[in-house]
Amino acid sequence: MFIDEAQITAIAGDGGNGCMSFRREKYVPKGGPDGGDGGNGGSVLLSVDPHLRTLLDFRHKQIFKAGRGEHGQGKQCSGKTAPDLIVRVPRGTQVYDAESNEALGDLTEPGHQVIVAKGGKGGRGNQHFATSTHQAPREHEPGRPGETRELKLVLKLIADVGLVGFPNAGKSTLLSTVSAARPRIADYPFTTLAPHLGIVKVGSPEDGRSFVMADIPGLIEGASLGKGLGHQFLKHIERTRVLLVLIDVTAENPARDEEILLQELGGYSRTLLDKPRLLAFTKMDLLPPGTPPPLLNGTRVRAISAHTGQGIKDLLSELDHVLTRIPDEAGERTTSRSADS
């Protein structure tokens, strides 16, 4: 099951109380104050775990509470600071305050952490309140409470190439052909109910070049307004660096299909239309052998067939070439490329 949104409660630990204590030593009947400080409470942190792929774990547990700091003791002994609670999330998780909708962090790299609830500070013991005129203070501070926050987690997949198209345009078939990913494939709409990622290797084995391709559930007209399934996953396309628009070559009106797809992308976010994109006709094996792909707005379009392999190698090479010309922005690097690529 692919879960890309969750709401959790993060409760940081309270600080320990400061201690009120006086020295009790032989021959020192009125010893000075020696109450120790309370320890700080533990904070709640979110940390990227590269092995996680969804937010499914948060369906079963929504409350995360760090420990409180220990209380101070006599003889100027401070209480222990509680350890921080680290909550592991998949790469690409965005964190928002559920009440104010304030963005708290965007976790894009392995090991990246963000504090979402800060632990309370420990209280001071009475040793800190002694003065020349107040030598036996009984004042001491309670520990401060830790923060409690309702959080909304939104997962946006990070990929190099995002596949865009209508249901049954051949997106899943292409991904399964060029990578080891095995999305569900069937001859009916909305076969893909969740995004899938696949690593596509390009060039020679010695080059070691690859990129990540994401199969997004099919879009329909009105998807950006909430129709169909695609609107739930349009946010994942925001993380891709290149869009590959796939159109069924047997479609009744390919030009209209392209227009609708671009309209839905722009309806969700205008920035999607600014991304580099390639266009390709799929299912060329369904046309009589030797039939050229139709022109689209007077332009010849790339033509591929995942079943026969027609045009696949050239398309992957072109995608690789486009990716090498796009500067990697912070948080969007998904592959390691050789220096001469």
Q: Give me the residue label for tokens 């320890």.
A: 39
Q: Between β-strands 295-296 and 277-282, what pairing exists: parallel, antiparallel or unpaired? A: unpaired
DSSP secondary structure string, 253-298? Answer: -HHHHHHHHHHHHHHH-HHHHHS-EEEEEE-GGGSPTTPPPPEETT
Domain presence at residue 138: yes
User: 312 and 165 in one domain?
Assistant: yes
Domain presence at residue 332: no
Quick: pLDDT tens for 146-203: 999 999 998 887 788 988 888 888 888 888 888 876 655 445 444 445 677 788 888 7
Alpha-carbon torsion 48, 212, 325, 246, what sign?
A: negative
Instruction: Please give the tally of structural domains in the chain.
Output: 2
Q: Given this model, what pLDDT does residue 240 score?
A: 86
CA nearest to 74, candidates 28, 123, 127: 127
Q: Given this model, what pLDDT does residue 2 score?
A: 59
Quick: pLDDT tens for 257-309: 899 888 888 888 888 888 999 999 999 989 888 888 878 877 778 899 988 99
Quick: pLDDT tens for 92-121: 899 999 999 999 999 988 889 999 999 999
CA distances in angstroms from 203 to 60, 92, 206, 208, 227, listed in the order given = 43, 27, 8, 7, 39
Domain presence at residue 181: yes
Domain presence at residue 339: no
Question: pTM of the predicted model, to two decimals?
Answer: 0.69
Domain presence at residue 203: yes
User: 79 and 138 in one domain?
Assistant: yes
- pLDDT reading at 224 higher than 90: no
Residue 328 confidence class, pLDDT cut points 50, 70, 90: low
Domain presence at residue 44: yes
d(CA 151, CA 103): 10
| Bridge partner list, 299 | 296
User: 265 and 209 in one domain?
Assistant: yes
- Residue where one domain finishes, among candidates 95, 123, 155: 155
Residue 131 confidence class, pLDDT cut points 50, 70, 90: confident
Other beta carbons within 10 angstroms of residue 150's beta carbon come to 14
d(CA 260, CA 7): 33
Q: Given this model, what pLDDT does residue 87 score?
A: 95
Print the domain residue range for 138.
1-155
Q: Considering all CA atoms of the chain, what is the largest pairwise distance in Å, rounded to the nearest integer?
A: 108
Q: Given this model, what pLDDT does residue 324 score?
A: 87
- pLDDT reading at 250 higher than 60: yes
d(CA 175, CA 196): 9
Domain presence at residue 329: no
Residue 57 confidence class, pLDDT cut points 50, 70, 90: confident
